[in-house]
């Protein structure tokens, strides 16, 4: 089961209700878990979401890895002043949220190579490639968290055999349901995707094999 938002019968205390000391202890514990995860044979993402620590095994599949690399190359080729980072922590001290996106786009001059965490204010675009086994993390949970962190553009690549879509979420704005992305544009694999200043050719994206 993904580390996400509880149903209406079981609500967790949001980070906004925590004291600064509690948020600090949460992040300290998450850092210790991340250090332990680095020693394991498999790759793990350690993230925080509304007062919880989320531990997710990264699927080392070829289609997923190829999709990340091919999108990174396009983004960096079109805007040479930016870099697209993978497996790098971004954090927001205001919400207490931390994430490890598949791709995080930031101006190279804004990268602080002495910091443990990338400042969320510097992030221009986040890309997540949906996992076969833990899809709700990207298409539901992070769809709620990234606008709270101020991420202006969130691109979800879904290579599952019954999906094969790229969805661009933008315009994070407050409303009766809280701070959410107000614009959503879906594309099929093979289309040219417009995401802010970037135009992404998706003809080279790989879907998961039908037998998976």
In this prediction, residue 18 carries a pLDDT of 73
Buried b (16+ CB within 10 A) or exposed e, 24-42: eebbeebeeebeebeeeee
pLDDT range class, residue 8, cuts 50, 70, 90: very low
Q: Torsion-angle region of residue 168: left (phi > 0), alpha (psi -120 to 50) or beta?
A: beta
Spell out the domain ranges in the chain.
59-201
In angstroms, the CA 122 to CA 112 distance is 10
| Structure confidence at residue 14 (pLDDT) | 56
- Give the global pTM: 0.84
Q: What is the mean pLDDT of residues 72-87?
A: 96
> Do 156 and 138 touch, CB atoms closer than 8 A?
yes
User: Which pLDDT score, from 0 to 100, does residue 183 have?
Assistant: 98
**pLDDT top residue among 196 and 48:** 196
pLDDT band at 148 (very low <50, low <70, confident <90, very high): very high
pLDDT of residue 50: 74
The pLDDT of residue 211: 77
Q: Is the pLDDT of residue 133 over 90?
A: no
Asked if CATH classification 3.40.50.150 holds for the domain at 59-201, the reply, yes or no, is no
Q: Which of 25-34, 43-52, 63-72 has the highest mean pLDDT?
A: 63-72
201/191 Cα distance (integer angstroms): 7
């Amino acid at each position: 089961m993904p580390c996400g938002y509880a149903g209406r019968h079981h609500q967790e205390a949001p980070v906004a209700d925590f004291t600064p000391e509690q948020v600090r202890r949460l992040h300290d514990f998450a850092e210790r878990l991340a250090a332990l995860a680095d020693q394991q044979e498999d790759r793990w993402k350690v993230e925080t979401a509304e007062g919880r620590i989320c531990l997710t095994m990264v699927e080392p599949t070829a289609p997923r890895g190829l999709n990340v690399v091919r999108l990174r190359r396009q983004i960096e080729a079109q805007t040479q002043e930016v870099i697209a980072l993978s497996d790098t922590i971004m954090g927001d001290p205001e919400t207490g949220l931390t994430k490890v996106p598949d791709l995080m786009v930031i101006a190279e001059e804004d990268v602080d190579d002495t910091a443990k965490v990338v400042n969320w204010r510097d992030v221009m675009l986040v890309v997540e490639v949906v996992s076969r086994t833990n899809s709700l993390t990207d298409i539901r949970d992070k769809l709620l968290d990234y606008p709270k962190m101020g991420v202006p553009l969130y691109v979800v690549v879904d290579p599952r055999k019954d999906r094969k879509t790229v969805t661009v979420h933008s315009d994070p704005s407050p409303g009766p349901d809280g701070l959410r992305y107000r614009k959503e544009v879906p594309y099929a694999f093979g289309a040219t995707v417009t995401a802010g200043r970037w135009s992404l050719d998706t003809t080279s994206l790989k879907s998961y094999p039908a037998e998976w």
